Amino acid sequence: MIKLHGMPLSNYYNVIKCVMLEQGIPFEEINVRPSQDQDYLSKSPMGKVPCMETDEGFLTETSVMLEFIEDIGSSNPDNSLYPISAFQRAKCRELMRYLELYVELPARRLYGDVFFDRPASDEEKADVKKLLEKGFSALGRIADLQPFFAGSENTYVDFYAYFGLSPVVRVCRKTWEWDIKKESIKLKNNIGSESLNENNLVCRAIRYIKNRYKDKIGIMCDVALDPYTSHGHDGILKSGYVLNDETIEILINQSLLQAQMGCDVLAPSDMMDGRIGKIRKALDKSNFKNVQILSYAAKYASSFYGPFRDAVGSKSKLKGDKKTYQMDFRNSDEAIREVALDIREGADMVMVKPGMPYLDIIKSIKNKFKIPVFAYQVSGEYSLIQTAINKKIVNQDVIYESLMSFKRAGANGIVSYYADRIDKILK
């Protein structure tokens, strides 16, 4: 079996990991950091991650490992993540080189400044920005984006782009308040109409997963407008207030669209009053009776959402706050009332968000209602734990301990950024 040496902090490690998952190639993860230790240098001559251990020896460099993955899967051309045409395959390799050499590598010069509190000079920042402007301009000339980077089909380029551009986006936003996701910004408006576009990112993802994996995997989708609104709120905004009933009408259509695409569980996270009953009625009327509803019934107006909002660029766009429709963190009784209402309206299960600061809410709901309860370990919780681990204040055992607290409180399901690592931790 292939062994993949590296760590989730490495974008190149994540590229290889996700490609192998996509291709159904069995592998074992070996969690290691870059090292100049002689033992590790015998595996990865530059001491970098990732490196791949095969039955015949070790491989390094991301592009080489991708070609190896392609070669070992060549017996089944249907599984290839390259186009059939030799020229188009070459264009994919070209795009990956452009992403690496002219975008990701220049931005990497500022990773210390942005991620590790190692300030860079103004001259360095200015130099990097010039290189990135040139790189993005060049990339724009050769990328297809119809809707994937290399055209109509998902390829290796899209994995490269997703993991390579994510830290670059953060660098640009934090260093120069430069949002390079110009196209996504253009799609946002005050009513979140992009949520009803059958070719939006969520709908394309649902169709791809269902076509790729059929009924082998279930899909849960968030139902809310905040990813699509220019003001960052979960509904239609007027005079500083979110309009409840007008928002629900859009949420109904968003729900029907996602169900039509193949979504198995809809998760309204908007906290509009009465939306569960109306969504349930609309689903049943449209013959989506088997589509379940996971209601964000107890979602608090919390500061723990900060890192996520910062990552997706909604923090700077948010006008005011969400305290008029999300719950006051000082209030516990309201959560019980909201859960009761959503159950009566047709919710199959409920969500408590955030998680650890609200273990008492999870327990109260579980004790009072015989219904599946989910807990959401949000970005702020994850960031606090991971920062403490990175600074060696605590060890990684706290991950399991934190997740077990949800289970102990009565949670039947846990949404966590540690979902991809917990099985390795338990081993």
Active site residues: 299, 353
The sign one gets for the Cα dihedral 183, 376, 233, 317 is negative
Contact 74/80 with Cβ under 8 angstroms? yes
DSSP H or E segment with residue 95: helix 86-98
How far is Cα 418 from Cα 392, in angstroms, rounded to an integer?
18
Residue 351 is given by DSSP the state E
Contact 279/255 with Cβ under 8 angstroms? yes
What letter represents residue 46's amino acid? Answer: M
What letter represents residue 284's amino acid? Answer: D
How far is Cα 405 from Cα 156, in angstroms, rounded to an integer?
39
Contact 243/231 with Cβ under 8 angstroms? no
Look at residues 150, 129, 154 and name the one whose alpha carbon lies nearest to residue 22: 154
How far is Cα 241 from Cα 324, in angstroms, rounded to an integer?
7
Look at residues 165, 177, 184, 278 and name the one whose alpha carbon lies nearest to residue 228: 184
What letter represents residue 402's amino acid? Answer: S
DSSP E strand boundaries for 354-419: 373-377, 413-416
Residue 151 is given by DSSP the state B
| Token output for 159 | 């994995």
